[in-house]
Structure 1
Amino acid sequence: MNKAIATLEEHCIVCGGGETGRHIISELLRSNYTVVLIEQDVKITDQCRMAGGLYCLTGDATDDKCLVAAGIERAAGIIISLPSDKDTLYVTIAARMLNKQIRIISSMVDPKLEPKLKKAGADRVVSPNFIGALRMASEMIRPTVVEFLDTMLRSKQGNLRIHHLVVTANSPMADKRISESGLKDRYSLLVIGYKKPAEEIEFNPNPSEILSPGTTLIVMGEIPDLDRVKRDI
């Protein structure tokens, strides 16, 4: 297994294979990400291996050697979903030291820890309790919207996702109008928003909007179509 992991590049590391970690892994795999799980509990790693589709390391994520074995220097991102805020903080610091470019998503239990995690190198900090509370309120306020999003994410038949695309200077879409980009006609994608550097996100953009280099598009479509446009853009 370690030899196979040593060949990986641009993969995603997940620290913690508990209930939250397993949902994270499931969504990453459905979105065609290569995933390496680091988990201390042998029973959990064995269960994940049986499920298939990912690489597993039985070990302690707070051990730098374990992060290196997971390919931290070559990984595109790491999601830290550990039960202890103290361990999460340590792994965040270690991950940033081992890879200056990696995208780090850290979970937290205590909201007071958020500034420390960001200072330690986390790109985003997520509170499962806060997200869960918003979800419960949304179930009361806007149940049909929640049903739509659940269907999009959980349907076994559908692979509909919302994703972002960055228009580079070398992209065939650069300096073209949205209507000329081929996103709808060629890739069957719906553009629901865009963001230009140093500006706020704009929703429901005009089809005549020019896609200047550096523009980030928010699009919705099937996973295979999203994969195609990411290769082409």
Structure 2
Amino acid sequence: MIVIVVGGGKVGYYLSKTLLEHGHEPRIIEINRDLCQKCANDLDIPVIIGDGTTIKSLGEAGADEADALICVTGKDEDNLVACELGKRVYNIKRTVARVNNPKNASIMKRLGVDIPISSTDNIARLLEREVDSAAIKNLMSLNRGETSLSEIALPADFKYSGKTLAEIHLPEDSVIVSISRNDQIIIPRGSTVLQAGDHIITITKDNTLHELSRQLGL
């Protein structure tokens, strides 16, 4: 997942580091040259020196191919403007804005920001649950948000249709609990075959949710 992060300060730095560790492709836009240098040297990812509230900088970061835009500067107005540009100019499907003043959260939501969030601790985890796929529905968070119980609808063009679970090799930290097919519940085994249109219930650590989505070809 290609994610543009506007703001290369402490929040943007550690957010990008977390996204990188989870297998995503973060790209940072930061106006401060020293912060850009630190992010580029430490993380070895694309870093654009510029203003994230401009079409030019977003374009240089590859906004036309980005899956998500996360704005975590210290100014709510900048985060809002960057999200609106990403959504309206580049059609980025998910925008996330750090809200420094909690009173601005509802305003940001009304103005089109998909996910305004005042706590920055779980932005990466929240993003993975919201962005990875419309086919994934989070049912419940477990173990203080580190694990999720999710429902996944396998699409009509599911590439593993007809394959057994043993043949698919799901990520280690994910388990398929049940399969719903034609109003019947199937308790899966290694020899169980998955089919397009199935609805599966999984328990997955949040840092492997993206990997599970990728493995299933969603």
Give the structure-2-normalised TM-score.
0.67
- Higher relative strand content: 2
Matches within 5 A, 1:176-191: 182=165, 186-187=169-170, 188=172, 189-191=174-176
The question of whether the paired residues in 2 share the 8 Å contact of 1:72 and 1:98 is answered with no
Q: Deviations over 1:162-213 (max 9, x none)?
A: 6976521111466x8xxx862897324224799xxxxxxxxxx9736x9774
Q: Which amino acid aligns with 1:109?
A: N
The CA deviation at 1:111 is: 2.1
DSSP 3-state at the match of 1:117 = helix
- Structure 1 residue 220 corresponds to structure 2 residue 204: yes
DSSP 3-state at the match of 1:99 = coil
Measured at CA, do residues 41 and 225 of structure 1 come closer, stay the same or move farther in structure 2, by a change above 3 Å?
closer
Matches within 5 A, 1:5-16: 11-16=2-7
The question of whether the paired residues in 1 share the 8 Å contact of 2:69 and 2:92 is answered with no
Question: Could you tell me how far apart the structure 1 residues matched to 2:12 and 2:52 are?
Answer: 13
Question: Could you tell me how far apart the structure 1 residues matched to 2:178 and 2:32 are?
Answer: 42
Q: Which ranges of structure 1 fall in alignment gaps of 5 or more residues? A: 1-9, 132-144, 150-160, 195-204
Q: Quick one: which of 13, 17, 26 aligns to 1:35?
A: 26
The CA deviation at 1:41 is: 1.1
The CA deviation at 1:227 is: 3.5
- Structure 1 residue 57 corresponds to structure 2 residue 57: no
Q: Which amino acid aligns with 2:175?
A: L
- Alignment RMSD: 4.0
The question of whether the paired residues in 2 share the 8 Å contact of 1:16 and 1:38 is answered with yes
Q: Quick one: which of 118, 126, 133 aligns to 2:117?
A: 126
Matches within 5 A, 1:1-233: 11-128=2-119, 145=143, 149=146, 167-172=154-159, 182=165, 186-187=169-170, 188=172, 189-191=174-176, 207=187, 213=197, 215=199, 218-220=202-204, 227=211, 230-233=214-217
Question: Could you tell me how far apart the structure 1 residues matched to 2:96 and 2:53 are?
Answer: 15
Measured at CA, do residues 166 and 42 of structure 1 come closer, stay the same or move farther in structure 2, by a change above 3 Å?
farther
The CA deviation at 1:82 is: 0.9
DSSP 3-state at the match of 1:128 = coil
The CA deviation at 1:38 is: 0.3
Measured at CA, do residues 172 and 128 of structure 1 come closer, stay the same or move farther in structure 2, by a change above 3 Å?
same
Identity of aligned residues (%): 17
Residue 153 of structure 1 aligns with which residue? none
Measured at CA, do residues 226 and 17 of structure 1 come closer, stay the same or move farther in structure 2, by a change above 3 Å?
closer
The CA deviation at 1:99 is: 2.3
Q: Which ranges of structure 2 fall in alignment gaps of 5 or more residues? A: 123-142, 180-184, 189-193
The CA deviation at 1:221 is: 5.7
Measured at CA, do residues 211 and 108 of structure 1 come closer, stay the same or move farther in structure 2, by a change above 3 Å?
farther
The CA deviation at 1:79 is: 0.7
The alignment covers a number of residue pairs equal to 187
- Higher relative helix content: 1
